[in-house]
Amino acid sequence: MTAAGLGRVHCVLPDELVKVADLPELALLGQEEQEFALGSGVRTVGVFPDGPATAPAADACRALEVERADVLLLVSPRAPDVLLGSDVGRVQHESGIKAGLSFTVDGLGCTGSSAA
């Protein structure tokens, strides 16, 4: 029997919370989508400072202070920097972690490469 376990994990969460009603993207949505967003029960969302969407993930990886990992798993950002690029590849490069396998869990939004 092969066992799998979870090693070290480090989360980086945004300091800034923005009300959903104040998100600039809200104005770009149609009326039904705006009503859904405002009526979903979500009142605030965390927002990172402007920069690459992969930067917080690379920061989290660097905080782990490891050089190697068996697997590097990235939950894809809501809006990737490059439509058909490799966000996990960029995170791996920026953090310096050498991983045996690196991949992104995608399809959580409409702009990922899986949807494309």
pLDDT tens digits, one per residue of 66-115: 888 888 888 877 666 776 778 888 999 999 988 888 888 876 555 555 55
pTM for the model stands at 0.67
* Residues 93 and 115 reside in one and the same domain: yes
20 DSSP assignment: G
How many Cβ atoms are within 10 Å of 72's Cβ, its own excluded? 21
Domain that holds residue 87: 51-116
* Residues 58 and 70 reside in one and the same domain: yes
pLDDT of residue 38: 93
pLDDT tens per residue across span 69-81? 888 888 877 666 7
* Residues 63 and 36 reside in one and the same domain: no
Instruction: Classify residue 1: in a domain, yes or no.
Output: no
Q: Are 57 and 39 in contact (CB under 8 A)?
A: no
Q: Which residue has the tokens 């310096």?
A: 96
